[in-house]
């Protein structure tokens, strides 16, 4: 984030001669000038900071993964030799999918395999999944 630099003169009093030829009112204005100049600078800087903050929020949101959870009860048994279609696609080989069987997190390549390349909605279990089993799929994209 790059913001405007402050170039406000801050040595207004020090630059005065030892015996100033200023009126009392002019001397007061000299004392007050730094505060007034800093206030003006900060009021110009605030919109820059707000815009930078908004840009940062948008950047962070665009990089955040969204998580989707799907609860499934199997209507039929699933054999070890068949691909199972899950409720949504995920990116293969990105740790974007968690699979739970009866509440237990399954281990990729031990309990199930991801199928396909790129975007996929297929997995294959390494065991027989009985009918009426509870499956949960957590997908991050």
99 CB burial (10 A radius; 0-12, 13-18, 19+): buried
Q: What is the pLDDT of residues 2-42, one digit of tens each?
A: 888 988 888 888 888 888 788 889 888 888 888 898 999 99
DSSP track, 90-141: EETTTT-EEEEETTEEPPBTTTEEEESSSEEEEEEESS-B-TT-EEEEEEE-
Number of other residues whose CB lies within 10 A of the CB of residue 91: 16
Contact between 73 and 87 (Cβ < 8 Å): no
Q: What is the pLDDT of residues 76-131, one digit of tens each?
A: 999 999 999 999 999 999 999 999 999 999 999 999 999 999 999 999 999 999 99
Q: What is the pTM of this model?
A: 0.60
């Amino acid at each position: 984030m790059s913001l405007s630099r402050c170039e406000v003169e801050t040595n207004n009093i020090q630059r005065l001669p030892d015996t100033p030829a200023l009126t009392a009112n002019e001397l007061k204005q000299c004392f007050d000038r730094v505060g007034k100049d800093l206030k003006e600078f900060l009021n110009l800087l605030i919109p820059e900071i707000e815009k930078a903050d908004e840009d940062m929020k948008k950047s962070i949101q665009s990089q955040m993964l969204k998580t989707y959870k799907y609860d499934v009860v199997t209507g039929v048994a699933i054999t070890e030799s068949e691909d199972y279609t899950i409720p949504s696609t995920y990116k293969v080989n990105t740790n974007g999918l968690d699979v739970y069987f009866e509440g237990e997190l399954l281990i990729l390549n031990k309990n199930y395999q991801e199928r396909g390349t790129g975007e996929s909605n297929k997995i294959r279990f390494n065991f027989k999944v009985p009918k009426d089993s509870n499956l949960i799929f957590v997908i991050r994209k």
